[in-house]
Structure formats: structure tokens, C-alpha cells
Amino acid sequence: MRYQDTSERLAQYRRQISDLRGKIRDVQHSVEPEEVGDYTFATRDGPVRLSQLFGDKASLFVIHNMGASCPYCTLWADGFNGLLPHIENRAAFAVASPDDPQAQEKFKASRGWRFRMVSHRDSTFAADMGYRSDDGWLPGVSVFKKQGEKIVRVADTSFGPGDDFCSIWHFFDLLPEGAADWQPKYKY
């Protein structure tokens, strides 16, 4: 297929994706919030509650990260680090993993991450949110809002190769062979 014909077809598909995103936002806007508990997490500075992670924001993104043992979760977190000032202009942001706080801080420093990390190791948080299976931890994101004294979850979605939360997949989509057998690594 000629380059110009391919470009026109791809532009049409991208418009369809944009239209679908609009439909997703409409459905998301109509969701009935799910009340959740005020979970306690461990941090290097001691325990912190979910309600405290909001700071002065009405909304909170909590990334469900599988921990330092997962190169994919590390890839996503590397990307969030660059977006952090933009995200925090609008909402609070934290990464939760099963790693203990000391291990989190060590790994965070080695990656140059600036976002807040909390450990859900000794809580049911990940399981209650649907990010733990019989096989282990699962990656994703939950969005919480404050409603008076209550905390509600208003959105969540899982992460996986090719998703919309890691731009590298979309760059690789522009290569004729796509991502092929590419896998993230801690160092290249």
C-alpha cells in the first residue's frame, strides 16, 4: 500500500480511537462511586492512611505496582516520573507496591523517581481493589475521590503491554514490526 494511502487509513483509525475515548469518558462520568475504607500503608516515615495521600487535592491516583521485581512496572513508573508535575497540578499521586518501605526507597533512589511510594504489604488494599490474584500482584491504577468524610473509588483499570498508560507501546506501533519481542529491562 502506498505511504499516503496508509497514512490516510491510519488517520481514520486514530479518529475512531478518539471517538471511542469520548465514549469511554462518557461512561466513566456516569459511574456510581464505590466506597472504600481508609486503608493504612507503610512508608519510610511511618504509617499513612489513604485519606492522607490526598493532601489538599480532591482526587487521588494510586498506581498498583507489583514492586521492584517487575521490569514492566518499572517501565510504567519511569514514565509517570516525567508526568508527575503535570498530574500533581490536578490530583494527588502515589505508587503502592508490596515491597517494604526501605526496599521502595532504595529502588526509588536508583531510578530517580520523585513520586510518593507506599507499601500495602500488610493490608488487604491490593486484593480489595482487585489487584491481587492467586498468582500474585497485578498492575493498574485506581482513582479515588473524597466525598465529605468518605473515600470513594471512581475509576480503575489494569496495565499491560500495549496499554494507554505507557507511551513506548505507541511509539513502537509506528515501527513496521511493532514491539516485536521487545521486553523492558532495568538497564540497556
- Give the model's pLDDT for residue 108: 98
For residue 1, name the pLDDT band (cuts at 50, 70, 90).
confident
Q: What is the pLDDT of residues 138-168, one digit of tens each?
A: 999 999 999 999 999 999 999 999 999 999 9
For residue 112, name the pLDDT band (cuts at 50, 70, 90).
very high
Helix (H, G, I), strand (E, B) or coil at 118: strand
Average pLDDT score over the chain: 96
Instruction: Determine the angle formed by the axes of helices 101-111 and 71-88, rounding to 10 degrees.
Output: 80
Weakest mean pLDDT among 21-30, 102-111, 136-145 = 21-30
> Thinking of the domain 31-173, which architecture would CATH place it in?
3-Layer(aba) Sandwich (3.40)
Q: What is the pLDDT of residues 82-97, one digit of tens each?
A: 999 999 999 999 999 9
Q: What ranges do the domains of the chain cover?
A: 31-173
